[in-house]
């Protein structure tokens, strides 16, 4: 009985210690959503702790080493939908992350479907892995190893690992949930000049002009508004005859598709769109329009 | 990659399944629209006297009450679909904790479904519209 009580007490003490343990490389999780794709990385974050040279050093990462960009158990990379990393297809799933670090030339990025591997036991090269070369860049000194996505686009971003004075960038692309382009034949029924009225609480306000044109394989809208945010936008088809405005950034890239807040529903006569109503997220009509040209 | 179920995982899954509400055990896959439950009624949908006199809310709750067999075939996109006891968009309109009392997505989906049903659209067409606008 005494032995059993002692064992229970030890178990409790151990559990408490684990919960509050101070680690040289504390755990972190980083998650980014992009157009419905969830990208997560879980890793322990080593600190430089006064080591000026981290790569090519016996005190940290040796040249030629297959290294997990983290510490303790291998860093994991998880995506809920297929993506591409630097153009290489990555299926939905969880992978352990490794890098073959070299003094000259490129490093090799390795995603291995086997996870929960301790950093001292890197996997051998095998057919299940996704492997590709990555370039390293000089960067301002960063004490704690950091995975991040410092640049985001509507359909991807830059996945970055940085530690010490070394940074590795990878271009990550997600599968877009929408298509910006359409054929001219599909676009033609909507192209033209329209007149629309804004409707507020059922009351019709002044009428304005709305132009829809077809440019670079994209259906685009321009309407009267004082807001530069909404002056010129892509009409993103979300369902037959339903479109949501896709708002452009200063580089001409769509960075937000404005749904469910504003959906334009077109009505056709003899195959040609002749009127539309725009509805908000409460299905209230906020605009009515008709073709004038 | 092969996955084997440990004994512990199997027991945990079986227990979780048994404790699901009976309706929630019906044909349902994550991300897919549920099948309307045979004989489903709007008996649990909140009535106007429990909606603090809010006309907009009363309209949508009343509209949902008219077509429970349609609303029960729609998966809500607001994130509540994985909550305990949730079966369909109809669940958002049921009971004192009805999510649709406060959630604009639940309300918007209900309003869209009611309108499209009145326009004669089928359940599949309504589901497609909900997914297009709110998915």
**Which pLDDT value is given to residue B6?**
40
Distance to chain A for B111, nearest Cα, Å: 6
Q: What is the rounded average pLDDT of the residues A287-293? A: 96
Regarding pTM above 0.95, the answer is: no
**What mean pLDDT comes out for the span A170-194?**
96
Q: What percent of chain A has pLDDT over 70?
A: 92
- Contact, A61 vs A71, CB < 8 A? no
Give pLDDT, residue A30. Answer: 96
Give the helix/strand (H/E) hosting B117.
helix B104-118
Q: Is B85 a residue whose pLDDT tops 90?
A: no
Q: Are β-strands A88-90 and A83-85 bridged in parallel, bridged antiparallel, or unpaired?
A: antiparallel
B27-77: per-residue pLDDT in tens?
Answer: 334 469 999 999 999 999 999 999 988 999 999 999 999 999 999 999 999
Average pLDDT over residues A145-159: 96
Strands A232-239 and A242-248: antiparallel
Measured CA to CA in angstroms, residue B91 lies from A160, A231, B35, B44, B104 at distances of 42, 40, 13, 9, 15
pLDDT tens digits along A70-80: 999 999 999 99
Model confidence band, residue A190 (pLDDT cutoffs 50, 70, 90): very high
Distance CA A230, CA A224 (A): 9
B128 and chain A in contact, CB less than 8 A = yes
Is A214 at the interface with chain B, CB within 8 A? no
User: Distance (Å) from the C-alpha of residue B103 to the closest C-alpha of chain A?
Assistant: 11
Residue B105 CA to chain centroid, in angstroms? 12
Query: How far are the Cα atoms of A29, A78, A169 from residue A147, in angstroms, in the given order?
Result: 9, 13, 10
Average pLDDT over residues A77-89: 98
**Is the pLDDT score of B25 beyond 50?**
no
Paired with A276 in beta bridges are: A266, A289
**pLDDT at residue A55, rounded to an integer:** 96
Could you tell me which residues come within 8 angstroms of residue A121 by beta carbon, excluding any fewer than 6 positions away?
none
Which among A128, A238, A281 has the least Cβ separation from residue B108?
Answer: A281
Contact A242 B133 (CB under 8 A): yes
Mean per-residue pLDDT for A22-28? 94
Q: Does position B23 have pLDDT exceeding 90, yes or no? A: no
* Residue A239 forms contact with B (CB below 8 Å): yes
Q: Are strands A37-45 and A76-79 parallel, antiparallel or unpaired?
A: antiparallel
pLDDT, mean of residues A83-99: 98
Q: Which of B1, B56, B108 sits opposite A260 (nearest CB)?
A: B108
Closest chain A CA to residue B56: A282
Residue B81, Cβ density class (10 Å: 0-12 exposed, 13-18 middle, ≥19 buried): buried
CA distance linking residue A159 with residue A169, whole number of Å: 6
pLDDT band at A57 (very low <50, low <70, confident <90, very high): confident
Of A52-66, A103-117, A142-156, B14-28, the least confident: B14-28
For chain B, say whether A281 makes contact (Cβ under 8 Å): yes
Look at residue A250 in the predicted model and tell me its pLDDT.
Answer: 84
Helices B123-134/B104-118 angle, 10° precision: 140
Residue closest to A293 by CA, chosen among A213, A192, A223, A197: A192
Q: Does B8 touch chain A (CB under 8 A)?
A: no
Element of type H or E holding B66: helix B55-66
Q: Which of A248, A268, A273 is nearest to A194 (CA)?
A: A273
For B106, nearest residue in chain A (alpha carbons)? A282
CA–CA separation, B70 and B22 (whole Å): 19
Mean pLDDT within B93-100: 94
Alpha-carbon distance B85 to A42, whole Å? 31
Touching B: A residues 126-185, CB under 8 Å: 128, 177
Look at residue B64 in the predicted model and tell me its pLDDT.
98
3-state class (DSSP) for residue A215? strand
Provide the chain B residues 105-124 that lie in CB contact (below 8 A) with chain A: 105, 107-108, 111-112, 115
Residue B109 is predicted with a pLDDT of 98
């Amino acid at each position: 009985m005494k032995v059993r009580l002692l064992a229970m007490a030890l178990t409790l003490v151990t559990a408490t210690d684990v919960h509050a343990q101070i680690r040289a490389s504390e755990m972190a999780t980083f998650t980014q959503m992009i157009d419905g794709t969830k990208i997560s990385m879980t890793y322990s974050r080593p600190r430089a702790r006064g080591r000026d040279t981290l790569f090519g050093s016996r005190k940290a990462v040796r040249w030629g080493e297959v290294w997990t960009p983290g510490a303790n158990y291998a860093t994991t990379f998880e995506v809920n939908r297929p993506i591409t990393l630097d153009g290489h297809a990555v299926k939905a799933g969880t992978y352990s992350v490794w890098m073959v670090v070299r003094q000259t030339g490129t490093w090799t990025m390795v995603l291995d479907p086997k996870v929960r591997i301790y950093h001292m036991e890197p996997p051998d090269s095998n057919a299940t892995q996704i492997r590709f070369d990555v370039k390293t860049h000089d960067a301002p000194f960063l004490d704690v190893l950091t995975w991040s996505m410092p640049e985001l686009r509507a359909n991807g971003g830059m996945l970055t690992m940085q530690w010490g004075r070394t940074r590795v960038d990878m271009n990550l692309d997600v599968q877009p949930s929408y298509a910006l382009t359409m054929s001219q034949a599909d676009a033609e029924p909507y192209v033209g000049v329209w007149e629309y009225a804004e409707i507020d609480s059922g009351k019709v306000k002044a009428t304005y002009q709305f132009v829809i044109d077809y440019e670079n394989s994209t259906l685009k809208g321009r309407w009267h508004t004082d807001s530069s945010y909404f002056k010129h936008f892509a009409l993103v088809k979300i369902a037959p005859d339903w479109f949501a405005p896709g708002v452009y950034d200063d580089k001409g890239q769509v960075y937000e598709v404005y749904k469910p807040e504003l959906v334009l529903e077109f009505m056709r006569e003899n195959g040609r769109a002749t009127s539309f109503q725009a509805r908000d997220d409460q299905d209230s009509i906020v605009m009515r329009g008709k073709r004038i040209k | 990659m092969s996955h084997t179920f440990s004994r512990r995982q199997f027991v945990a899954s079986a227990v979780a399944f048994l404790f699901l509400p009976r309706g929630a055990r019906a044909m349902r896959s994550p991300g897919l629209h549920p099948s309307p439950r045979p004989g489903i009624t709007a008996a649990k949908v909140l009535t106007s006297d429990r909606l603090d006199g809010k006309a907009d809310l009363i309209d949508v709750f009343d509209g949902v009450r008219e077509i429970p067999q349609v609303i029960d075939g729609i998966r809500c996109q607001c994130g509540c679909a994985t909550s305990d006891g949730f079966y369909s968009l109809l669940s958002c309109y049921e009971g004192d904790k009805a999510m649709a009392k406060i959630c604009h997505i639940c309300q918007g989906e209900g309003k869209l479904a009611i309108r499209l049903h009145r326009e004669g659209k089928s359940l599949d067409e309504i589901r497609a519209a909900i997914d297009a606008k709110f998915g």
